[in-house]
Amino acid sequence: MIPAPQKHSYALGPGVVAPAMHPEYGRAIQELNNVNYPKAGGQPFVVDAGHGVGGPHQHTQYPYVTGTSVLALKYKDGIMVACDTLGSYGSTKRYKSMERMKPVGKFTLIGASGEYSDFHYIMKLLDELTTDDYCHDDGQNLTPTEIYNYLTRVMYNRRNKFDPLWNSLVVGGFHNGESFLGTVGMVGTCYTDSHVATGFGAHLARPLFREKQYDDMSEDEARALLEDGLRVCYYRDKNSINKFQIAKVTAEGSTISEPYALITEWGYEAFVNPAAAAVGTW
């Protein structure tokens, strides 16, 4: 057990003792550092590659369990958001029931692509904000625009530390009779629009949205258009599965559906022989 420090170094800060100032403390630290060294010699077993070599911790620099596209659009009564429930471990379809959409406060919904643990961290930050908001009990609540602006600062701040949160976020909400929809990238890039998408959805689904979406469309029309976009993403994105959730935010609040599957068709001629027009493929 490491003894409690009795004095401190002004260079290191209060309560922090340098090994040279306290030999017993220094020996205890050295024993802890030697725990992973094999008794018969050889290299120690180290979980963190930066341990013992003076390098920075890098286990947050790479995404491990990730989610793919999130699609969202405006319609007459509010915002509708959709995504699948797959968590991919690399290219392995590992987790089939991950929810990637969460409500925030009374008026806002967040959807996330990218690293799932980073999404949990972001939700923890937002939970702290909403809890503080609730404790003030002043009748004021965070609006979708405020949450969107907060997330742009969080993502850009982490990018400037060279330790980005590996997510692309969709922020949708409804407040004071107005719909809000925006997206925030992993380095703080952001924009608002009548329809947004992350991941491959930005290339596969948004062309459909540009052609057919309009702000006064009915809920049934919005749902059908979102399902068309999800279906195209499922056909073309290998890190997608046929298990989706659709959420909506209206004046009554936010709701997220139970997972369900879409009706698909695999008999298209282009699917039967996809390499027919690509000479040299197999």
Segment 61-103, tens digit of pLDDT: 788 899 999 999 999 999 999 999 999 998 899 999 999 999 9
Q: So what's the pLDDT on residue 205? A: 95
Q: Cβ(3)–Cβ(27) under 8 Å? A: no
Q: So what's the pLDDT on residue 261? A: 95
**What gap in Å lies between CA 87 and CA 100, rounded to an integer?**
9
Q: So what's the pLDDT on residue 26? A: 55
Q: So what's the pLDDT on residue 14? A: 46
Most confident listed range (56-60, 162-166, 167-171): 167-171
- Mean pLDDT over residues 6-35, rounded? 51
**What gap in Å lies between CA 128 and CA 165, rounded to an integer?**
18
Whether the per-residue pLDDT at 11 is higher than 50: the answer is no
Q: So what's the pLDDT on residue 10? A: 46
Q: What angle do CA 220, 224, 226 make, to 5 degrees?
A: 115
Based on the residue annotation, tell me whether 192 is a catalytic residue of this protein.
no
**What gap in Å lies between CA 253 and CA 190, rounded to an integer?**
24
Most confident listed range (65-74, 130-139, 263-272): 65-74
- Mean pLDDT over residues 12-39, rounded? 52
Residue of 60, 85, 130, 145 marked catalytic:
60
Q: So what's the pLDDT on residue 38? A: 55
- Mean pLDDT over residues 164-177, rounded? 94
Whether the per-residue pLDDT at 251 is higher than 50: the answer is yes
Q: So what's the pLDDT on residue 277? A: 75
Whether the per-residue pLDDT at 145 is higher than 60: the answer is yes
Average confidence score pLDDT of the chain: 84
Q: Binning pLDDT at 50, 70 and 90, where does residue 140 land? A: confident
Query: With a threshold of 0.85, does the pTM exceed it?
Result: no
Whether the per-residue pLDDT at 6 is higher than 80: the answer is no
pLDDT greater at residue 169 or residue 268: 169
Q: So what's the pLDDT on residue 37? A: 54
What is the tens place of the pLDDT at every residue in 107-120?
A: 999 999 999 999 99
What is the tens place of the pLDDT at every residue in 29-63?
A: 555 555 555 555 555 555 544 444 556 666 667 88
Q: Binning pLDDT at 50, 70 and 90, where does residue 133 land? A: confident
| Phi, psi of 71, rounded to the nearest 5 degrees | -115, 145
Percentage, residues of the chain above pLDDT 90: 63
- Mean pLDDT over residues 8-36, rounded? 51
Of 3.60.20.10, 3.30.413.10, 3.40.462.40, 3.30.70.20, which CATH number belongs to 65-256? 3.60.20.10
The full set of domain ranges for the chain reads 1-59, 65-256
Q: So what's the pLDDT on residue 171? A: 97
**What gap in Å lies between CA 78 and CA 254, rounded to an integer?**
10
Angle between helix 144-160 and helix 116-136 axes, rounded to 10 deg: 130
